[in-house]
Amino acid sequence: MSEHTDEQRLDYLEERHEALHMQNRVLATALKGLIRALPAEMAQDVVESIQQAFEDELAQLEYEDSPHVDLFHDVTYAFFRERH
C-alpha cells in the first residue's frame, strides 16, 4: 500500500470511530431520557433490569472467552457512572 492510501484508510477509520462514538452517545442519551421520564419506582426497576442485562451479557462474553470482555466491562461501567 502506498503512504497516500494508508493515510486515507486511517482518515476513514478515524471518521468511522467518531461516528460510532456519537451514535453510542445518542443511544445512551435517549435511554437516559426514557428512564428519566419514568416514575421514580419504575425507573429504579428499569435501571436494575438494565444492570442485570449487562451482567448477563458480561457473563456470556466471559463464557465465550471473548477478547472484548474488558472493553465491555469498561464501557458498561462508564455508562452507569455517567448516568448519576
Are 46 and 32 in contact by the 8 Å Cβ rule? The answer is no
Evaluate if residue 2 carries a pLDDT over 70: no
CA atoms of 23 and 20, how far apart (whole Å): 5
CA atoms of 65 and 44, how far apart (whole Å): 31
CA atoms of 29 and 17, how far apart (whole Å): 18
pLDDT reported for residue 41: 94
Are 37 and 46 in contact by the 8 Å Cβ rule? The answer is no
Q: What pTM does this model have?
A: 0.69
What percent of the chain has a predicted confidence (pLDDT) above 90? 69
Grid coordinates belonging to 34: 426514557
Compute the average pLDDT of residues 1-14: 86
Grid coordinates belonging to 65: 472467552
Evaluate if residue 1 carries a pLDDT over 60: no
pLDDT reported for residue 75: 86
Mean pLDDT score of the chain: 89
Each residue's pLDDT tens digit, 23-56: 988 998 999 899 999 999 999 999 999 989 999 9
User: What's the distance, CA 72 to chain centroid?
Assistant: 7
